[in-house]
């Protein structure tokens, strides 16, 4: 640790992800090494483990989801995005800035405020 004398604040050294993990996963008192990690490394990518079929399935699945999103949300004739934004603008008294603030507040409540519902 690097100590700053004037403010007496302890600053951690610059750590990479693996160094940070090594510092946070400590062995139990009766263990000689930290426990093995359980799960997968989400950032790991190996080109040799990829298959053309898996990429074709991913492309098809993504195309279907994006097509549904366009029809249900984005398209001016069938989508709900215009009515959604207009409702927020009405609630904000016609102010586009107020509408954006209300939309951000709604996102915060739905995204983070409802996190307590997760198991």
Write out the DSSP string of 86-107: HHHHHHTTT-HHHHHHHHHHHH
CA distance 74 to 80: 7
What pLDDT, on a 0 to 100 scale, did the predictor assign at position 9? 52
What is the per-residue pLDDT for 104?
94
**Contact at 8 Å (CB) between 10 and 1?**
yes
Domains of the chain: total: 1
pLDDT of res. 114: 79
Is 1 part of a structural domain of the chain? no
The answer to whether residue 5 is domain-embedded is: no
110 token code pair = 């739905």
Coil, strand or helix at 85: helix
Q: Which two tokens stand for residue 35?
A: 């426990």
> Is residue 93, in this structure, part of any structural domain at all?
yes
Residue 64 domain-assigned (yes or no): yes
Residue 72, domain member (yes or no): yes
Q: Residue 2: beta bridge partners?
A: 11
- Which residue range forms the structural domain that includes residue 62? 53-117
What pLDDT was estimated at residue 22?
53
Separation of alpha carbons 52 and 79, rounded Å = 34
User: What does the pLDDT read at residue 12?
Assistant: 53
Quote the CA–CA distance of 37 and 24 in Å, as a whole number. Answer: 12
pLDDT tens per residue, the chain (119 residues)? 554 455 455 545 554 545 545 555 555 666 666 666 667 777 788 888 899 999 999 999 999 999 999 999 999 898 899 999 999 999 999 999 999 999 999 998 888 877 877 77
Residue 74 placed within a domain: yes
**Total Cβ atoms within 10 A of residue 95:** 13
Identify the pLDDT of residue 40: 73
């Amino acid at each position: 640790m690097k100590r700053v004398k004037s403010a007496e604040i302890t600053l951690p050294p610059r750590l990479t992800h693996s160094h940070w993990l090594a510092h946070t996963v400590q062995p139990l008192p009766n263990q000689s090494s930290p426990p093995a990690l359980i799960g997968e490394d989400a950032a790991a990518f190996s080109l040799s483990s990829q298959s053309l079929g898996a990429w074709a399935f991913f492309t098809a699945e993504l195309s279907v989801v994006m097509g549904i999103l366009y029809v249900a949300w984005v398209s001016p004739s069938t989508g709900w995005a215009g009515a959604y934004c207009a409702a927020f603008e009405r609630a904000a008294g016609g102010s586009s800035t107020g509408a954006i603030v209300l939309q951000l507040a709604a996102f915060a409540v739905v995204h983070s405020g409802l996190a307590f519902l997760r198991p």
